[in-house]
Amino acid sequence: MGDIFVLAEHRQGELREVSLEMLTKASELAPKMGGEAVAVLIGSGVDSFAEKLAGYSDKVLYIDDPLFADYNSEKYQRVLVELINGYKPELVMIGHTTQGVDLAPALAVESKLPFVADVIEIEHADGKPRPVRQYYQGKVNANIAFKGEAPYLITFREATLEVPDASKQGKVEKIDSPLKEDIEYRRFIEYVEAEVGDVDITQSEVLVAIGRGVREEKNMAMIEELAKAVNADICGSRAATDAGWLPHDRQVGTSGKTVKPKLYIAIGISGAFQHLAGMKAAKTIVAINKDPDAPIFTVADFAIVDDLFKVIPKLTEKLNELRG
Say if residue 194's pLDDT is above 70.
Answer: no
- Long-range CB pairs of 96-102, under 8 A, 24+ apart, other chains included: 96/18, 96/155, 96/156, 96/157, 96/158, 97/9, 97/16, 97/18, 97/158, 99/9, 99/11, 99/71, 99/73, 100/7, 100/9, 100/155, 101/155, 102/73
Say if residue 41's pLDDT is above 70.
Answer: yes
For the chain, the average pLDDT equals 94
Q: Which regions of the chain carry the CATH code 3.40.50.620?
A: 4-174
> Which pLDDT score is estimated for 195?
67
User: For residue 160, what pLDDT band results from cuts at 50, 70 and 90?
Assistant: confident
CATH architecture of the domain 201-323 equals: 3-Layer(aba) Sandwich (3.40)
Please state whether beta strands 115-125 and 128-135 pair in parallel, antiparallel, or not at all (unpaired).
Answer: antiparallel
Check: CB of residue 58 under 8 Å from CB of residue 28: no
Say if residue 240's pLDDT is above 70.
Answer: yes
pLDDT digits 0-9 by tens, 80-103: 999 999 999 999 999 999 999 999
Say if residue 153's pLDDT is above 70.
Answer: yes
Residue range 4-174 in CATH 3.40.50.620: yes
CA distances from 277 to 49, 123, 138, 201, 253 (A): 30, 19, 7, 15, 6
CA distances from 49 to 54, 234, 237 (A): 9, 33, 36
User: For residue 184, what pLDDT band results from cuts at 50, 70 and 90?
Assistant: confident
User: For residue 324, what pLDDT band results from cuts at 50, 70 and 90?
Assistant: confident
Region 203-210 average pLDDT: 96
User: For residue 320, what pLDDT band results from cuts at 50, 70 and 90?
Assistant: very high
- Secondary structure element (H or E) that encloses residue 123, with its range: strand 115-125
Check: CB of residue 7 under 8 Å from CB of residue 26: no
pLDDT digits 0-9 by tens, 129-144: 999 998 887 778 899 9
Angle between helices 220-229 and 308-323 (to 10 degrees): 30
> Which pLDDT score is estimated for 102?
96
Say if residue 196's pLDDT is above 70.
Answer: no
Region 159-175 average pLDDT: 93
Which of residues 134 and 264 earns the better pLDDT score?
Answer: 264
At residue 85, what are phi and psi to the nearest 5 degrees? -65, -35
Region 212-240 average pLDDT: 96
Say if residue 191's pLDDT is above 90.
Answer: no
Say if residue 278's pLDDT is above 70.
Answer: yes
CA atoms within 13 A on the CB side of 28: 15
CA distances from 11 to 8, 22, 46, 241 (A): 10, 17, 11, 30
Say if residue 51's pLDDT is above 70.
Answer: yes
Say if residue 52's pLDDT is above 90.
Answer: yes
**Per residue, what are the HEC states of 38-79?**
EEEEEECCCHHHHHHHHCCCCEEEEEECHHHCCCCHHHHHHH
Rounded distance, CA 265 to CA 306, Å? Answer: 14
- Long-range CB pairs of 216-221, under 8 A, 24+ apart, other chains included: 217/243, 217/244, 217/245, 219/309, 220/245
Check: CB of residue 189 under 8 Å from CB of residue 280: no
Its pTM stands at: 0.84
Region 12-24 average pLDDT: 95
Q: In 3D, which of 61, 155, 47, 63 has the Cα closest to residue 102?
A: 155
Which of residues 198 and 16 earns the better pLDDT score?
Answer: 16
Region 165-182 average pLDDT: 95
Region 246-270 average pLDDT: 94
Rounded distance, CA 264 to CA 262, Å? Answer: 7
